[in-house]
Chain A
Amino acid sequence: MHVLPYLVAAYVFLTGCYGLATSRNLIHTVGCLAVCQSSTYVLLLAVGYRDGATAPVFSDLAPGSRPVVDPIVQALTLTDIVVGATVTALLLALVLQIAKRHGTLDPDELRELRG
Chain B
Amino acid sequence: MSQRLRLWLLAVGGAGVAALLVAACLDLPAFGGRRHPYGERAVAASLARHTANTIASLNFDQRAYDTLGEISILFAAVLGCLVLLREARDEHRAQPQPAEVALPVRRYALIALPVALLTGLYVIAHGQLSPGGGFQGGVVAATALHLLYLGADYRALERVRPLGVFDVCDALAVSAYAVLGLAGLLAGTAFLANTLLPYGTFNTLSSGGTVPLLNAAVGMEVASAVVLLLAGFLDQAVEIEEERGS
Contact = CB atoms under 8 A, between A and B. Distances in A.
Contacts of B17: 14, 17
B129 A59 contact: yes
Secondary structure call for the B interface? helix
Given A48-B36, A68-B43, 16 more contacts: A6-B31, A10-B25, A14-B14, A14-B21, A47-B28, A57-B130, A58-B54, A70-B39, A82-B74, A86-B73, A86-B225, A92-B233, A93-B81, A96-B85, A96-B233, A97-B84
Given A18-B10, A46-B31, A93-B84, A83 B54 contact: no
B55 A75 contact: yes
A58 B52 contact: yes
Contacts of A89: 77-78, 81, 229, 233
A82 B136 CA distance: 9
Given A2-B32, A69-B39, A71-B46, A82 B135 contact: yes
Nearest to A13: B21
Contact of A67 (B34, B229, B232): B34
Interface in B188-245: 203, 222, 225, 229, 232-233, 236, 242
A72 B222 CA distance: 21
8 contacts: A2-B32, A22-B7, A50-B34, A51-B32, A56-B53, A86-B77, A86-B229, A94-B84
B131 A21 contact: no
Contacts of B36: 48, 50, 69-70
A110 interface: no
Secondary structure call for the A interface? helix
Interface residues of A, number: 49
B39 A48 contact: yes
A92 B78 CA distance: 12
Interface stretch (B58-66, B102-110, B166-174): B58-66
Contact of B58 (A13, A49, A71): A71
Contact of B32 (A50, A57, A82): A50
B22 to A, nearest CB: 7
B94 interface: no
B131 A90 contact: no
A83 B38 contact: no
Contacts of B25: 3, 6-7, 10
B39 A59 contact: no
B113 interface: no
